[in-house]
Amino acid sequence: MQIVLTVTAVVLSLAAAGAIIRIARGPSLLDRVLAADVLLAIFGAALCIDMAANRHLNNLMLLVAISLIGFVGSVTVARFVADRRENVRES
């Protein structure tokens, strides 16, 4: 079990590092938002792995809150970008 936890920790750490690099370098706002969503998903996966490994549900409310924040943030940015593109077409 310890080997599985170590492998998942390494994989999630590498994925988080890639998402952070994309947030820093992202050429557009949508790239940065997508990378932030990926980072939230990675954090949620880490919480799920912790709950499964230690057999508890202490982080369940935090996981739900993170999921809602990610969803609302993505929808907000998508609507902002869609409105911005509409205004460009009208000009």
Mean pLDDT on 2-7 = 96
pLDDT tens across 49-82, in order?
999 999 999 999 999 999 999 999 989 998 988 8
> What pLDDT is recorded for position 50?
96
Query: What's the pLDDT tens digit per position in 17-45?
Result: 999 999 999 898 889 989 999 999 999 99
3: part of which helix (H) or strand (E)? helix 2-25
Predicted TM-score (pTM) of the model is: 0.87
**Per-residue tokens: 60:** 């369940």
Determine contact, residues 26/7, Cβ cutoff 8 Å: no
Calpha distance 48→70 (Å, rounded): 16
Sheet strands (E) in the chain? none
pLDDT given at position 91: 63
- Give the pLDDT score at 89: 75
Ramachandran angles phi, psi of 39, nearest 5°:
-65, -40
What is the number of structural domains in the chain? 1
Q: How far is it, in rounded angstroms, from Cα 23 to Cα 50?
A: 25
Domain region containing 56: 2-90
